[in-house]
Amino acid sequence: MCGRTCLTLAPAEVCRACRYKTQKDPKGKEEEPQWRSEYNLGKSYKPSYNIAPTDITPVLISGQHFEEEAAAEGSQVVVPMMWGIVPFWHKGEHNTHGLTTNNCRLENLMTSRLYKRSFLNGQRCVIVCEGFYEWQTTKCAKSSERDVFFIYTPQKDSIKIEDNTSWDPEDVQLLRMAGIYDVWTSESGDTLYSYTIITFQSNKKLSWMHDRMPAILDTDEKVAAWLDYKNVQPDDALKLLKPTENITWHQVSRIVNNSRNKSDQCNKPLPEGKSSPIKSKMMQSWLGKANKPRSSRDTEDDKVSKKPKLEVKEEDPEEPSSSGEPAE
């Protein structure tokens, strides 16, 4: 399961953090993916400590999806996309389809009308973030009392993932999750890129917290193979999706339950054995305004309107809602 993420890097920093080796020269200089921001109905990526479905976030895809880069085998680009697939066949406004599409169960991938076509068309993507938040559903039935954890890739000793002043983008190990995307076109001809994160049954390392986990790609080679839709066929791509052991976590405050809270305290570790209840509405409001992410630096594509709210039907009852606490 994955219902919230954290990414505080500006566009140029995301590209620095996503440098990759080319297939032609695997031992040579690393390349930076190009940032493509010309889509998404005027909405843009905003660095945030508390990213929720319907937000725009950076996503890696193969450069070969773009005609002008078709000759660059193995190239990667970053495309800001909306979290929660809007299927290409949807009619009407993009936020009226009434579906919950932020996560896609691997077990249903090849039978789902929502996802099968995108997967077989090679529309595979990699969602990048500093980490994701998970609620411990195995311990407490009441959503407002569930402990919350921030899950991320282990870092070098000098790097504290929750403190972005302790590292540079090229030194951090972002967490990378496998997904698929779709391209929707409005009646006026505007284009929206959107994605879903693939999930499956948790392994023993995470099952104490939640019975589902995202499909994490824990090596550069897996990332490259997942994106390489021309050379890695669907059946072989599915074999890349295995539960990883290469993750760690710490408990965080329940202020993250509400996606309006954007405080830099969202991803900070709680003292061992402590729990942090949500306080008054005044405190929530203060926390939402308190601290901006690393890039109070402006993003490149910062021409944005407020994000829409989808009218969703909950597919997974433990999933946190985009407007408040995890849904019952």
What is the distance between the alpha carbons of residues 15 and 21, in angstroms, rounded to a whole number?
13
Q: What is the pLDDT of residue 284?
A: 46
- Among the listed ranges 37-51, 69-83, 213-227, which one has the minimum average pLDDT value? 69-83
Mean pLDDT lowest for which of 246-250, 253-257, 261-265, 276-280? 276-280
What string of DSSP letters covers 35-70?
A: E--S-STT-----EEEE-TTSEEEEEEEGGGSGGGT
Tokens of 264: 């830099």
Q: What is the pLDDT of residue 310?
A: 35
Which of 86-90, 135-139, 311-315 is predicted with the least confidence, judged by mean pLDDT?
311-315
Q: Which of 68-82, 120-134, 272-286 has the highest mean pLDDT?
A: 120-134
Strand partners, 181: 195
pLDDT at 24: 66
Question: Is residue 5 very low, low, confident or very high in pLDDT (cuts 50, 70, 90)?
Answer: very high
Of 208 and 39, which is predicted with more confidence? 208
Catalytic residues: 2, 134
Do the beta carbons of residue 149 and residue 250 sit within 8 Å?
yes
Res 78: pLDDT: 96
Mean pLDDT of 91-101: 83
pTM for the predicted model, two decimal places: 0.84
Evaluate if residue 318 carries a pLDDT over 60: no
Spatial neighbors of 272 by CB under 8 A, at least 6 apart, are none
In the predicted model, is pLDDT for residue 321 greater than 50?
no
Residue-level pLDDT at 145: 85
pLDDT tens sequence across 115-130: 999 999 999 999 999 9
Give me the percent of the chain exceeding a pLDDT of 90: 64
- pLDDT tens for residues 290-304? 455 655 444 333 333
Question: What CATH fold (topology level) applies to the domain 4-266?
Answer: hypothetical protein yedk fold (3.90.1680)
Q: What is the pLDDT of residue 235?
A: 96
Kindly report, residue by residue over 184-225, the tens digit of the pLDDT.
Answer: 998 888 999 999 999 999 999 999 999 999 999 999 999 999
Which pLDDT score is estimated for 22? 80
Q: CA 22, 26, 27, 31: dihedral to nearest 10 degrees?
A: 10
Which is higher by pLDDT, 218 or 99? 218
Query: What's the average model confidence in pLDDT over 221-245?
Result: 96
